[in-house]
Structure 1
Amino acid sequence: MNRTLLLILCDFLLLTLLALTRWETAEPERPVEQTAGPVEADEGAVTAADDVVELMQLSFEDQQAEQAAMEADMAAQLEARAVELAERERALQELEAARNALQAERATLSADLAETQRTAAELRQRAESAAGEAAASRARVEQLQRDLEAKENEAAQTAAQAAQLAEEKAAAEAQVQQLNVAVAVAEQEKTLLRETAQTFREQAEKEREERIKVQETTTQLAQGVGALAERSEAITQEIRENRPINANILFSDFLLNRVPAQFNAARINVFGNELTRNAVARTILVRDGEAIYAIMHVEDTPFNFEEPASQWARVFVTLAKDGVRAAAPALHFINRDPRIVAIPVEASQATALGVKIYDMTIVPFRFPEAVLISKGGEGYGEVPFKLESDLPGYVRMDNRLIRRLAGDYSPSRGDLVLSKTGELLGVMVTSDLCAMVDEISAAGTIRTGDTSGQNLEGLLERMEALAESRDR
């Protein structure tokens, strides 16, 4: 029989005996009187009480073993449970950290999304405003064209009337000639035809007065036709000035008229060796009154304001195009911003180079956008700009990150800035700031050739300090 089942049965029997025993009626054990003769106990006999005790002891030992096993199993389960709880706690902490990171990232993305939406709204508003202005401009141009057509029709009618009057004048002159002949005949026959001659003279006088009136009318009509022609030419010029030129046309025109300016400079370094520096700037010629200049950024020359100023021994500047070479006598750092360099060019040299001479814009803010040409023709694009209230003479170009991310043209330092009418607006002195060039006056000058007698180091230091003051 299975020991466990036997223990269960023994426990059940013991509990049954204990339950069925009437302890209240049980008599106390009386001492057994000793008999006369000793009674010898059977040493080998096993009583029922001994069996019960042995069974109870075995049951107790098995229960202790089972309890120890259960306690060991429970300890192992508790330890595994503790490890599992610790693992769950660590996983919960990692999840909490990940949740916090996701919340932070969600907040950042929400802020970025809000900023992007705001920027998109601004762009939409600007696009709508630009579309409205373009529609208004088109309407004004169409009205001007209609007015011009009406004036041309009126001029044609006036010309037709003048032609008709000329024909009438010729007819009148022919009639006058006939009348003169008749007068001559009347004079010969004055005796017989005196009254008829007098009548003819009166008619001739009237015709003469009418001819004078016709001549006066013809003169007035001719003056009106001349004034109308002048007015039509003025209207045509106004339409031309208010009509923007396509950026592709402006860039193509720049490529045809750009002039390479070649620089060669030399100085002695700290080791006593001669150091030469060459540079080429592809730029345009601009007109300031009667003077002509080639204009560029200082970084397109051998000089720049980001390295310590040096004393240069010689400097040569040559403009060359299609085999024609013109040596420049000097280069100027202009007053508006010394980061812009102007090279004077003689009128005969400009004619020999055979390129277009650009004018400086008179009305720079007629259009809200300008055409930028970078690095002598490597790229171009249309960029919006606005006035800079705390920096007179400068405009701020739209160089926001969203434009660069969208793949739009991004301005850079040294770009030439043209108005939409094809005139020079200025030069980019930083990546977003354009110095307008409306006149050229020198803040400092370097005479080309042997420059050992000029204090170029001091000049460059002053120009650098002046450029820094312009940005404040």
Structure 2
Amino acid sequence: MNRSILIVICDFLLVSLLAFSSADVNNIADPNAPRSFKLDASSNAAENSKDLAAVMKLALEDEQQRRELLLSELTKTRDAVTEKEQQVQTIGAQLQSREQQAQQLQEQQARLQQQFAAAQTNIQLLDRQLANRSTEAQLSQDKLASLQAEMRKRVDEAAAAQQQLAQLAKSNELALVEKQRLSGQLQVAEVERRSALAEAARMNEEVKVEREEKAKLAEGVKALATKSSQLAEEIRQNTPLAPNAIFNDFVSNRVEASFWAVRSGFLGGEASKHKETQTVLVGDGTNTYALCHVQDTPLSLWTPGADWDGLTGALARNGSSVPIHSLSFSLQDPRVVLMPVSASDVRQLGSKPYRLSSDPWKFQDAVLVGAEESYYGECKFEMDLTTPDYVKLDHSLFKGLFGKFNPSRGDLVFSKTGELLGVMANSTYCLKVQNFSTAATFQFGQDVRQQHTGAALSRLYSLVFGLPYKLQ
């Protein structure tokens, strides 16, 4: 990692520590004065994160330009190597052609030498014949002239052969000179090719080093971004939100759940039941559910339970609607029902899934929002050791109320950090939703008679009836 980047990171960490440790020093002189501390790390952290992000961006752009320059030089070097190799191949082909021509000339020279030797032999034979026949007095003049003409012809042929032999020797000398020249060019081209290959290897090594440095820089940026995200998340988790902000977030992300239930009525007719309620989506990072109280649905936990023939439902928000495929009863408290929502349905609804509260006791106060009526308020919740899965609403202390505040079952409770704490099981106790384990599930459809909803509702009623009386 570059020295400048390390300096920027150290400055960022130092500023963050100073921001967190800043205190009001005006009251130090007065020991009896109340001391107050102000945490203002979010703005400093955000500005430092922006400055650091800008520095990182400039560093990354510089590394990208250097990498592109090296890649361009490597491409040019590779092209030069390719051109040199083509030149070597061309010169090799020319050299091979010249060698073939020289071989052909040598073969022609050998043939002409053989012809010249044969002509010399013929001349000597004719000379002997002429000498032998000159002694003959009766040799006719015509035969002598014929022999002389034959002799002149042989002499001319020998002269022509000698001339061709001289031309072939000259051509052979030229071929040898051309061969030597091509051999020199081939050696030069080979030296240039080796030099280009060495340069390409060096450029490859530089590119490799640059890539490693860029990878290290990217890892540093990623680690710093992770730390910044963790710091922002820690600030968010330790900063309480105003009830108005929590209620406004609820209004922006709530969805409307509608339920229809049909069963056989008196004298063979049909009896239908319709319910609507407002709720939110909640997720654990893997699964997403819409949840509400069972009283906000057509179903009732009772003995004997009702056997329904058909169950259907839908979730709607801002004109978009998705069907409810199933309804499950929470294993913690069957009065809280869960409806799974797929990732595609979440995108279609456009609602933000709330997260479950990881630390319900971080703030003693919580914000209660009415599921059906538009009221909300900041309430104080207490821990009841006899009911560890529930928190108790302190009716003696309400503040920041809006609307006709009347806490009842089915109301939603949010922590001061904006996370979902739970659902009111009754007017006093709130179930802390910690997981999405279920005790029973009904698949929605036009015909659910095979699911025997009456027996399942009766069994779930027995579970609720077995809870302490103050939770019922």
Q: TM-score of the superposition, structure 1-length normalised?
A: 0.51
Task: Answer with 355-364 or 333-342: which moved more.
Answer: 355-364
1:280 aligns with 2:276: yes
Unaligned 5+ segments in structure 1 are 1-127
Structure 1 residue 262 displacement after superposition: 2.8
Show the counterpart of 2:306. Answer: 312
SS of corresponding position for 1:417: strand
Structure 1 residue 224 displacement after superposition: 2.4
Show the counterpart of 1:163. Answer: 65
User: 2 CA distance for matches of 1:181 and 1:207?
Assistant: 15
User: 1 CA distance for matches of 2:62 and 2:212?
Assistant: 14
Change (3 A) 1:318 1:363: same
User: 2 CA distance for matches of 1:453 and 1:198?
Assistant: 88
User: 2 CA distance for matches of 1:384 and 1:140?
Assistant: 27
Change (3 A) 1:376 1:241: farther
Structure 1 residue 286 displacement after superposition: 3.8
RMSD between superposed Cα atoms in Å: 5.3
Identity %: 19
Q: Give the alignment partner of residue 259 of structure 1, picking from 249, 256, 259.
A: 256
SS of corresponding position for 1:401: strand
Cα deviation, 1:151-195, whole Å, max 9, x if unaligned, reads 54145225314524643664687689889999989x979979x9x
User: 2 CA distance for matches of 1:471 and 1:205?
Assistant: 82
Show the counterpart of 2:52. Answer: 150
User: 2 CA distance for matches of 1:344 and 1:205?
Assistant: 63
Cα deviation, 1:189-245, whole Å, max 9, x if unaligned, reads 9979x9x99998998788556534421321112212432443355345435544367
CA contact (8 A) 2:42 2:232 kept: no
Letter in 1 for 2:65: A
Structure 1 residue 466 displacement after superposition: 3.3
CA contact (8 A) 1:292 1:344 kept: yes
Task: Answer with 240-249 or 460-469: which moved more.
Answer: 240-249
Unaligned 5+ segments in structure 2 are 1-33, 89-179
Cα deviation, 1:362-389, whole Å, max 9, x if unaligned, reads 6344963554321246133455656655
Letter in 1 for 2:291: I
Map of 1:139-288 to 2, 5 A cutoff? Answer: 139=41, 142-143=44-45, 146=48, 149-150=51-52, 152-164=54-66, 166-167=68-69, 170=72, 210-235=202-227, 237-238=229-230, 241-242=233-234, 243=236, 248=245, 251-252=248-249, 254-264=251-261, 278-287=274-283
User: 1 CA distance for matches of 2:53 and 2:204?
Assistant: 28
Change (3 A) 1:153 1:314: same
User: 2 CA distance for matches of 1:157 and 1:346?
Assistant: 41
Cα deviation, 1:67-115, whole Å, max 9, x if unaligned, reads xxxxxxxxxxxxxxxxxxxxxxxxxxxxxxxxxxxxxxxxxxxxxxxxx
User: 2 CA distance for matches of 1:391 and 1:423?
Assistant: 21
User: 2 CA distance for matches of 1:295 and 1:214?
Assistant: 58
Show the counterpart of 1:440. Answer: 436
Letter in 1 for 2:255: R
Show the counterpart of 1:83. Answer: none
User: 2 CA distance for matches of 1:278 and 1:382?
Assistant: 32
Letter in 2 for 1:341: V
Tell me how many residue pairs correspond in the alignment: 331
The answer to which structure, 1 or 2, has the higher relative contact order (CA under 8 A, 6+ apart) is 2
CA contact (8 A) 1:340 1:429 kept: yes
Show the counterpart of 1:401. Answer: 396
Structure 1 residue 258 displacement after superposition: 0.8
Q: TM-score of the superposition, structure 2-length normalised?
A: 0.51
Question: Of the two, which has the highest radius of gyration?
Answer: 1
